[in-house]
Amino acid sequence: MTGGRAWCKALSLGITWLTGCADPLDGPSAYETQRFLCTEERQSEWLDLVEECESQRAFDGSCGGVVSFTGVLQGQPYTVESLLKSSDVTDVRTPENDLIRSSLTMIGASPYFNFRLTFTGLGGALSEAGFPEAPRTLALVRNDTAAIVSNEQVQFELRLNTRGASLELRSGSGEAIVREQTGEREHVRVSAELDQGGTLDGCFLALVTSRSIEVAEP
């Protein structure tokens, strides 16, 4: 079974939701051309991709960041590296006039699907001067009632889309390490157990393309 055909079967969930696999690739899976760049050994390749994104951003504003992640989804291994189409954040201004990061949504594409990655409740104070915070480790939780802008927990969601069909996966456990956080950038390292037995290990650098600031009620 080719990599493409395996993904069609694995992601169908009883229906052919992954319609992009109607004509699967012959030969090796397209994911074999994708690199997992979050290790120390591949740091230079990660930085090269970041530099490419920053150059595009400086030229025409077209790049929203860089992601690389790998894992297992419904029994099938996958690896994705991508320049992001967009990275949108929502920050909250507290009654004490602090700025706290509420959410981050990143949109990109892989060989077989488009994806949307969302962090809710990242927390962390943002300096008006833009200085990055020291790294923070957050527990990944699935609870829909988890406190927004918590400094201890965060919700993580992965949504896959192809030709009008979609699959939504949430983290059940794991951790997110916030390595850099400013008004214009967010760098998060994630290790997660997902719904339906899936896993995700990845690094996510957002170059913010859209930012909104909400005012918290006293």
Phi, psi of 132, deg, nearest 5: -70, 145
The C-alpha atoms of residue 51 and residue 178 are separated, in whole angstroms, by 20
- The answer to whether residue 3 scores a pLDDT higher than 80 is no
What pLDDT score was predicted for residue 210?
94
Please check whether residue 203 lies inside any domain of the structure: yes
Please check whether residue 20 lies inside any domain of the structure: no
Q: In which domain, by residue range, is 63 found?
A: 34-215
DSSP per residue over 44-96, as a string?
HHHHHHHHHHHHHHHHHS---EEEEEEEEETTEEEEEEEE-SEEEEEEEE-TT
- In tens, the pLDDT along 131-153 reads 566 688 999 987 654 454 557 88
pTM for the predicted model, two decimal places: 0.83
H or E element in which residue 178 lies: strand 165-181
- The answer to whether residue 201 scores a pLDDT higher than 90 is yes
Please check whether residue 163 lies inside any domain of the structure: yes
- In tens, the pLDDT along 80-110 reads 999 999 999 999 988 888 888 999 999 999 8
DSSP per residue over 11-27, as a string?
T-TTS---GGGSSPPSS
Please check whether residue 6 lies inside any domain of the structure: no
Please check whether residue 10 lies inside any domain of the structure: no
Please check whether residue 16 lies inside any domain of the structure: no
What pLDDT score was predicted for residue 26?
33
What pLDDT score was predicted for residue 108?
95
Look at the chain and report how many structural domains it folds into.
1
- In tens, the pLDDT along 24-56 reads 323 345 566 789 999 999 999 999 999 999 999
- In tens, the pLDDT along 169-191 reads 898 899 999 999 988 999 999 99
Please check whether residue 109 lies inside any domain of the structure: yes
Please check whether residue 39 lies inside any domain of the structure: yes
